[in-house]
Structures are given as structure tokens and as C-alpha cells.
A and B are shown apart, each in its own frame.
Chain A
Amino acid sequence: MKKIEAIIKPFKLEDVKDALTEAGITGMTVSDVKGYGRQQGHSELYRGAEYVVDFLPKIKIELIVANKDVDSTIHLITEASKTGKIGDGKIFVSPIEKIVRIRTGEEDEEAI
């Protein structure tokens, strides 16, 4: 079992969600996040004075998949969220030790 965290551009969320749902991924957790990578920030204008917005708004998607589905899921997210411009985001994969579904007590892969 792996956790896939994807940081993407906010307006790409719908596309990613549609692609994942179509592929049978049944759940995900989404949060508003801010941060920066190579894109750095950008400058805005307020009352004629420029100011730099360091932390850009992004969306973080977290989902847990069985080991066999990791590559295909990464591929789906990449394809759906790519614009080719700087700031498209990153995908992180990390191992998961245990999952419990609260309602039924099912564990691990059954609980995904």
C-alpha cells in the first residue's frame, strides 16, 4: 500500500478527479495548500506598489492505492494535471503501514 500525494495547480483538480474516477479510484482527500518550488512567487500590484506573493495557492490530493496500482495512478495524475508550464507540481509516493475502515473494522487493502 502506498500513499500518493500530488501537488497540482488548483484549476486542474476537476481534470485529475475525473481521470481518477474513470479509472476506478474510489476516494481521495483534497486540501488547499500554499507553497513554492522552482516557480517561486509572482508579484502583484496594490495601490501602485508591487508586492511579491511568495506562496502560491495549490491543491494537494492525497490517496492510498494498492502497490500494483501506483504506476498507473501516477501516470493518470501526470497526464491530467500537466500544462507544460512551470509550477505544474510534484507527486510524492510513500509507504503506508496500516489502514482501518472505521465503520466495519476492515483492514489494509480491503479498506482502501
Chain B
Amino acid sequence: MDANIAYVIDTFFALFAMTLIIFMVPGFAMLEAGLVRTKNVSAVLMVNTMIYAVASLAFLLVGYSVAFGDFGSDSMSKWAAFLFQMAFVGKVINIMSGGVSERAKVLPLGLFTIVMGALIYPIIVNWSWGSDMLKNTILDLNMYDLAGSTVIHSTGGWALLAAILIIGARRGRYPKEGGVRVIPASNIPLVTLGAFLLWIGWFGFNGGSIGSIASKQSADAVALTIMNTNTAGLSGAILVGLYMYFRYHKLDITMVLNGALGGLVAITAGPNLYDIYTPILIGSIGGVLVIFGVSFFDKLKLDDPVGALSVHLLNGIWGTLAVGIFASNGDNITFLGQLKGVVVVGIFAFISSFIVLYVINKLVPLRAEKDEEMQGLDVDECGLEAYPEFKRAF
């Protein structure tokens, strides 16, 4: 193909994929707005809006250079190459912010967003997809992670774990007399809308990560990637649905949707490497991890209103290891190489997030005051309740 045409097509493809990924912004926003109580909805949406704006700007000013050295691309417009990478940044922080909903204040989360978007995440990208400052050192990562099961999803999950350890659970969630107080979702239609927006965004997330579509071979790779991504998502949903039905005779929609998201995270490391049936297994195991994870983290009293630890942290790890188990393209992919990537990135992401959040917490407390939390964060944080009208009877 004429090089100019390939350049145009790949630029268009990157911009299209980027646009799909940005659909994950309302995806996370609606998912979280539905899963939290109505008194915290404005605050949660404010955090989501802040993350997209602040993280993108931090990446433009600092992060992109940290990760890739300089603006530039031979195969497409360098601005499109930047925009595609920029689209991912907010997702890392979204994973973390959702899990500390209903008690974390907007301003300290904003400070963390700056550090994450300008430094922590770009450094991890540098090691994995970027200019690789660890080359020829003992820590050099040779894991295969196409679209970021580890680089994005686990990283966000580790940051969330650090945040929950610092901020603690929502008041009343784990009563003194033991047990767990359930705080149900407030708006199931929004949860569903958000989950499906994320699902649609994933086609750009994974498909776009192939990096080019302007040849017969790469077009096939993109299509296979999107197909396998979709298969893993629906497998996760089906497995959780079956489990919930046989165990409880109740099809909990929030769990089924989280099963889908777990499957999508799990396939993200290597959707282009598998045949068309392996994703069924990978996504199903992703669903199992969500089922197991939600109750496991509750036992540990790690309060996560949206289930992000199970969906993103556990499945990010699983998805990266799955490449080492199932990938068949002999690209120097080894299980140990994948494991090393998981461990190195995990340690760095957790420790750096913990230190940064700890310092921020000393300067600007992460956690809302007791009264503020009881009243709901909307009033003090936004001065605007999400649903201020009297409930109409009919």
C-alpha cells in the first residue's frame, strides 16, 4: 500500500480507537454513580470529571515525555499517537478512585491524579511499552502485555489497595459486632449503562493497541483482538450468571456485569495471541476471580464499593499470567517472564502509590469528616445534590 495512505488510515484508526477508549470515561462515571448511594453521586461524578481533565493534562505536560521520550511516530500523525496513549491514563486512576468512593475527598484525589498521570503510570509505561530505561538491567521487563492487564489494570488495582489501606472502610460497613453490612447499589440502570460503555470502550482499548490496521495482516490482528476481547467479556458474564443462579437462585446483575468486566480485564494482556476459543476459558476464570474476590476482600475488611480490586487487580494479574500459560506465538513469552512483570510492576505501583497517598493524606486528609460522610459528600464537596427534588409518588 502507498505509504501516505497507510499513514492516513493508521492515524484515523488511532483516533477512532482513542474515541472508543474515551467512552470509558462515562463508562466508569455511570458505573460508579449507580453503585454508590444517591447522597454521594455528584461527588463521584466530580471525581470522574476531574480525573479525565487533570490526568490528561499531566500526561501532556510531563507524563508522555517520561514514558516515550518525545512526541513522534513514523507510521501515523504524532499527535494521534499521543492522543491514543493519553486516552489510557485516566483509566488507571479511575480504577483507584471508584474503590474509595463515598468517603474520599475530591481535592486529595486530584493531587494523587497529578502524580499518577505525570510520573507513576508513565514510568511503568516506560518500562513496558516505552523507551525502556531498565534495558540491560536485572529488572528489564520482558513480559507481553498488549493493552495493559498489568500496566493499567493491576497498576490501578495496586494503587486502590494502597488507598483503601490508608483511608479505611465506609462508616458502618463492618460493624463492631462483626459481620458485613451490605450497602446496595442505588441505580441499576446506570450500573448497566456504565458497564456496557466500558465494554464498548474495550474494543478501542485492545484493538487500538495493535497499533496499525493499514495492512491485511494487521487488519486481521485487530479484528481477532476485538473478537477475543468480546468473547472473554461475555464468558465472564455467563459464568458469574450461572454461578449466582445455581448457588442462590438469584441473578445479581451487578455481579454478572462485574464478571463481564473481569473477563475483559483478563483478556487484555494478549487478545491477539489466542485462538478464538481460549478466551472463553480465560474470561470464565476471570468471572471466577470476581466471585471469589468480592467475598475475599470483604473478609479482609477492604471496603470496595465497586468491586475494582476483584475486577482489575486480580484479573490484571491473572490476564498477564494467562499469556504465559496459553500464548502460542513463541515470541519469547515465558510464564516466568510474565510473573516477573507482574511482581516488578506490582511492587513499584503499590509502594509508590502508598508513599504518595500517605504524604497527601498528611497534607490534605483523604477522608471526609464523619458528619460530611454521614450527610453524603455531595453537600460539602459539590454544594449540589444529584437528586434534589422530592420523590414524586407517581
Query: Could you tell me which A residues sit within 8 Å of B by CB distance?
Result: 30-32, 44-51
Contact = CB atoms under 8 A, between A and B. Distances in A.
Interface in B228-280: 244, 247-248, 250, 252, 254-255
Give chain B's interface secondary structure class: loop
B300 interface: no
B393 A45 contact: no
A45 B248 contact: yes
B298 to A, nearest CB: 7
B182 A31 contact: no
B182 A51 contact: yes
Contacts of B307: 47
B175 to A, nearest CB: 12
B393 A47 contact: no
23 contacts: A30-B394, A32-B391, A32-B393, A44-B184, A45-B248, A45-B250, A45-B252, A46-B182, A46-B252, A46-B254, A47-B182, A47-B255, A47-B294, A47-B307, A48-B247, A48-B252, A48-B255, A48-B294, A48-B295, A49-B182, A49-B295, A49-B298, A51-B182
Contacts, number: 37
A51 B394 CA distance: 27
A73 B291 CA distance: 53
Give chain A's interface secondary structure class: strand
Q: Which of A48, A49, A51 has the most CB of B within 10 A?
A: A48
B181 interface: yes
A74 B181 CA distance: 41
B290 to A, nearest CB: 9
Contacts of A32: 391, 393
B165 to A, nearest CB: 21
Contacts of A51: 181-182, 184
Band of interface residues on B: 20 to 34
A31 B393 contact: yes
A45 B184 CA distance: 9
Nearest to A50: B182
Interface in B285-332: 291, 294-295, 298, 307
A49 B180 contact: yes
A51 B181 CA distance: 7
A50 B252 CA distance: 12
Contacts of A30: 393-394
Contacts of A50: 182
Nearest to A49: B182
B185 interface: yes
A4 B182 CA distance: 37
Interface in B161-187: 180-182, 184-185
B291 A48 contact: yes
Contacts of B244: 48
Contacts of B252: 45-48
Contacts of B184: 44, 46, 51
B232 to A, nearest CB: 21
Nearest to B295: A48
Nearest to A43: B182
Nearest to B254: A47
Nearest to A48: B295
Contacts of A31: 393
A49 B174 CA distance: 13
A104 B20 CA distance: 62
Contacts of B180: 49
A45 B185 CA distance: 11
A30 to B, nearest CB: 6
B191 to A, nearest CB: 12
Q: Which of A30, A31, A49, A50 has the most CB of B within 10 A?
A: A49
Contacts of A44: 184
Interface in B315-361: none
